[in-house]
Structure 1
Amino acid sequence: MFLQPATALSAIDRLQQVLQLQDPADKCAAVASLVIDDDSFIHQPRQRVAPGRPERLQLVRPRDVPMRGLGTAEGRAALVHAVAHIEFNAINLALDACLSFAGMPASYYDDWLSVARDEARHFAMLASRLREMGHDYGDFPAHNGLWEQAEKTADDVMVRMALVPRVLEARGLDVTPGMIARLQEVKDHATAAVLRVILDEEVRHVAIGTQWFRWCCEQRGLDPTPTFLRLLDDSQTRIRAPLNWPARRAAGFDPDEMPAELIAGH
């Protein structure tokens, strides 16, 4: 898919076109230069579009993604591929957060475009590391769980902010330290260094989700903590160990939003 000249497109058209790009390198380059310079963007009607992804990428059910240990080069490459797939989806999710919801403050769209740029940079780092390991994005099967959650939360920005950045992305804060430790054990310091950068920067992304979730709650006269817990129940979502409470606290979580037994000891 070729990008039309930016001058011929509205801001919504530009974002939709970038979201639909299939080639990861093209998408990352396009995201880096994306701006919203149209004041009418905030209130323009939205039409959701499906994200583009490489045709060679095989999507399977989550339970059908093979489990591989980190003791082999193949297993470590599969891990890098899995995280790269998460980051590629995160680009699409951040763009979709701009495209799906009209009427938010201008700073909301600025925030999510900044997240899209970060995620594109993270993907590029992982894709480079994957090539160093003799592989490319698309060499391993992956699942579509992240985008499926975007579809489930497409009708309500408050629910999106609660269940995507504050659940799915926050889960990355929890599990990445363990991955880094395991990679260091097997002497893959290069991959560990990439994941450490991503972990540090993802705290801000989750904090942005927290900020806009609470903004939505305030606009609706809702108490954020019980509202978040209700949305977890409604979606049958359970917060599980391990819990990276220092990172979650930095991202704006309230202790009452988390199981007390998981916070103990932090």
Structure 2
Amino acid sequence: MQSLTSAIEAALNTADPRAKCFATRDVARRWRRDELAWQFDVTMPDHPARPEAPELLPPTQMPRRGKFGSARAQIALWHSLAHIEFVAIDLALDMAGRFGAEMGEEFVADFLYVAADEAMHFALLDRKLRSMGSHYGALPAHGGLWEAAHTTRHDVTARLAIVPMVLEARGLDVTPATLERVKAAGDDNGVKILTRILDDEIRHVGFGTKHFLRCAAKQGKPPESLWKTLVQRYFKGSVKPPFNDSARLAAGLSREFYAEVAL
């Protein structure tokens, strides 16, 4: 029987986007069916495989999208969302494979569930791009999204604090405004996609918060102050309003965590 980490590593090292989606869903499916051995005999790669396109650029070099009403700006929006979801597949896979032995089976199950969701989100967004005459890889993309994972590769508590509870939580904040723009443009299909992603991301942030709280309890530290310490240490950006307080609270992330660190 193949080991859990061997299957996860194979998915992480799959560069082609569609093949990565299939590999990720297959790992999650085989885990649910007890077809993977609980063995952590393979080390996760520091950097997962990437396709030749899109070109990855520093945030300061990313071209501006322009006004949302233009076809070019709309394609740029959907492309940026597709890239976020593509990297999110690897973030969830790495979480399960890198920290699963330490954190246990529920942790692995939660983050393989997240990985399968992200693969589905990417597939929806790539299909959306193709319906608009484009595809993933047609435009440059943000090159820094994996940095938070690499920086926190030694510490599961820090990884949980930064990836689900800062980066994914930010998605909860910005998606409603994007939804309104897409709705105003009369894009019903886009509205359905974003609504599905928002609903799923609340659950994903909830998984991260749940396991972070368990880490804090194990360390005997107040979770809010521990989170703030880790954010200050490992997150290079700032935690900025506006916040989607209702979505964050639904994910277990109360204002006690982030109000004082918001800039």
So what's the TM-score if we normalise by structure 2? 0.91
Residue in structure 1 matching 2:50, options 49, 53, 57: 53
Q: Which residue of 2 aligns with 1:3?
A: none
Q: Deviations over 1:186-240 (max 9, x none)?
A: 2223212211110111000000000111111111111101111112222354321
Instruction: Give, in angstroms, the shift of residue 45 of structure 1.
Output: 6.0
Structure 1 segment 1-266 matched on structure 2, within 5 A? 9-34=2-27, 35-36=30-31, 37=34, 38-41=36-39, 44=41, 46-68=43-65, 69-101=67-99, 102-235=101-234, 236-259=236-259
Find runs of 4+ consecutive structure 1 residues off by over 4 angstroms: none
Once residues 22 and 232 of structure 2 are traced to their aligned partners in structure 1, the CA distance between those partners, rounded to angstroms, is: 39
Cα distance in 2 for partners of 1:99, 1:151 equals: 14
CA contact (8 A) 1:19 1:51 kept: yes
Given that residues 87 and 119 in structure 1 are in contact (C-alpha distance below 8 angstroms), is that contact kept between their aligned partners in structure 2? yes
SS in 2 for 1:103: helix
Distance in 2 between residues matched to 1:260 and 1:58, nearest whole Å: 37
Which moved further from structure 2: 217-226 or 148-157? Answer: 217-226
- Size of the aligned set, in residue pairs, is 254
Amino acid of the structure 1 residue aligned with 2:63: P
Q: Deviations over 1:7-52 (max 9, x none)?
A: 5x422111111111111111111111213444542x5463434212
What are the ranges of 5 or more consecutive residues in structure 2 without an aligned counterpart? none
Percent identity reads 40
TM-score by length of 1: 0.90
- SS of aligned partner of 1:155: coil
Corresponding residue of 1:4: none
C-alpha spacing 1:127/1:117, structure 2 compared with 1 (3 Å): same
SS in 2 for 1:154: coil
d(CA) in 2 for partners of 1:83 and 1:13? 29
How large is the RMSD of aligned CA atoms in angstroms?
A: 1.8
Secondary structure of the residue aligned to 1:146 is coil
Gap runs ≥5 in structure 1: 1-6
The one-letter code sitting in structure 2 at the alignment partner of 1:92 is D
